[in-house]
Amino acid sequence: MPLFLGIDGGGTGCRAVVADATGRVLGTGAAGPANVNSDLDGTRANVLAATTEALGGTSHQTSLTAVLGLAGANVTAAAWALAATLPFARVKIVTDAVTSAKGALGGGDGIVAAMGTGSVFAVSRGGAVRQYGGRGFLLGDEGSGAALGRALLARALRAEDGFVPMTPLLRSTLAEFDGIEGIIRFASTARPADFATLAPRLIDSDDPAARILKTEAMQEVRAILETLQAPGPLPVVFLGGLGGWYAGALAGLWPQAAPLGSGLDGALAMAMELGQEA
3-106+260-277 carries CATH number 3.40.640.10: no
User: What is the pLDDT, as a whole number, of residue 278?
Assistant: 58
User: What are the extents of the domains in the chain?
Assistant: 3-106+260-277, 107-258
Q: What stretches in the chain show pLDDT beneath 50?
A: none
User: What is the pLDDT, as a whole number, of residue 225?
Assistant: 94
User: What is the pLDDT, as a whole number, of residue 71?
Assistant: 85
Q: Distance (Å, rounded) from C-alpha 186 to C-alpha 64?
A: 41
Which residue in 15, 13, 2 sits closest to 62, CA to CA? 2
Q: What is 228-241 written as a DSSP string?
A: HHTTS---EEEEST
The CATH code of domain 107-258 reads: 3.30.420.40
3-106+260-277 and 107-258: identical CATH topology: yes
